[in-house]
Structure 1
Amino acid sequence: MAHREHKYHVTVTWTGNQGTGTSGYKAYSRDHEIGSAGKATILGSSDPAFLGDRSRWNPEDLLVGSTSACHKLWYLHLCAEAGIAVLDYVDEAEGTMVEGAKGRFTQIVLRPRVTVRAGDDVDLARRLHHDAHEQCFIANSLNFPVLCEPSIRTE
């Protein structure tokens, strides 16, 4: 199989200079904007634990969200190929980060609740989560476990 390379261009612009820049730890806002050509801007900050704005997305939220979204996209693809009609998909994903000499994530747990068409193979629908995890570009790039605890029901 030929290897293809994809590049992603994102601009992060700090918008938190409150007049004196980073003259002190509490002298500036952590606010920023994440943009990419032709897409809506994402308003970002840091986690409130690090003086961020809780109404904005922080990098940790985005990492957990990216992992969940990638898994979902692969899962939907694999279900479509297998003839399973997914009618609803909601994931209550949770990431765990610890602080120490270096802060790091220790795991992400995906908890997708999936509804499939009546009569579809529920066991296969459950197993396809494993295959989606194996294919997920984001999960394959992480150095910590991504666990999946799916629940499948029929309409």
Structure 2
Amino acid sequence: MLGEHRYTVRSTWTGDRGTGTSGYRDYDRAVTIEVDGKPALAASADKPFRGDPTRWNPEDLLLAALSECHLLSYLHACVQAGVVVVGYDDEASGLMVEDGRGGGAFREVVLRPRVTVTDEAMVDAATTAHAQAHEWCFIANSVNFAVRHEPTILVAGS
């Protein structure tokens, strides 16, 4: 299936404390992110950048997008390979490096999916399916840094 898919999101700054951006410390980094038909997401900058650590930040969202995209692509790859997955969780981490000029970039993300399959005979195919999932992941194919995988495959009932 070929096609173009457009996505829209509305980001609204809600951090005016009454004086706008009159100074770097004078405004809150609070943002509301909305997509029609979905719950609003409370966001902010990361804590080191004067943000609210109880809210999602752009770095969290990028890491979450990579993790979920791989998960969904992986499940599809497993169906095609005849692998029955009954559990999947991921402890993903990312390294972002500041450049000293006010910017920075992610250097890498490591996904650590822990997958549970129904049969020992599926372990090799379950491991191989991560490479196919990486090829299919729209988000991983859109970033300019390494996205590595360190999977663990478990067998249900073992």
Query: Shared topology, TM-score over 0.5?
Result: yes
Scaled by the length of structure 1, the TM-score of the pair is 0.96
Q: CA deviation at 1:154?
A: 0.4
SS of equivalent to 1:56 = coil
Consecutive unaligned residues in structure 1, runs of 5 or more: none
Give me the whole-angstrom Cα distance separating, in 2, the residues matched to 1:129 and 1:81.
12
Give me the whole-angstrom Cα distance separating, in 2, the residues matched to 1:136 and 1:118.
26
Give me the whole-angstrom Cα distance separating, in 1, the residues matched to 2:80 and 2:130.
13
1:19-30 alignment, distance < 5 Å: 19-30=18-29
**Amino acid of the structure 2 residue aligned with 1:54:** P
* Residue in structure 1 matched with residue 123 of structure 2 by the alignment: 122
Consecutive unaligned residues in structure 2, runs of 5 or more: none
Give me the whole-angstrom Cα distance separating, in 2, the residues matched to 1:120 and 1:55.
43
**Amino acid of the structure 1 residue aligned with 2:51:** G
Give me the whole-angstrom Cα distance separating, in 1, the residues matched to 2:4 and 2:88.
30
> Does residue 105 of structure 1 match 2:101?
no
Give me the whole-angstrom Cα distance separating, in 1, the residues matched to 2:121 and 2:12.
47
Q: CA deviation at 1:85?
A: 1.0
Q: CA deviation at 1:75?
A: 0.2
Identity %: 53
CA contact (8 A) 2:15 2:30 kept: yes
Following TM superposition, the consecutive aligned residue runs of length 4 or more in structure 1 with deviations greater than 2 angstroms are none
> Does residue 13 of structure 1 match 2:7?
no
Give me the whole-angstrom Cα distance separating, in 1, the residues matched to 2:23 and 2:146.
36
Deviations 1:51-91 (A, max 9, x none): 00000000000000000000000000111122211111000
> Does residue 44 of structure 1 match 2:13?
no
Please give the root-mean-square deviation of Cα atoms over the aligned residues, in Å: 1.0
CA contact (8 A) 1:70 1:138 kept: yes
Deviates more, 1:74-83 or 1:134-143: 74-83
Q: How many residues align?
A: 154
* Residue in structure 1 matched with residue 142 of structure 2 by the alignment: 141
Give me the whole-angstrom Cα distance separating, in 1, the residues matched to 2:39 and 2:85.
28
CA contact (8 A) 1:114 1:151 kept: yes
* Residue in structure 2 matched with residue 54 of structure 1 by the alignment: 53
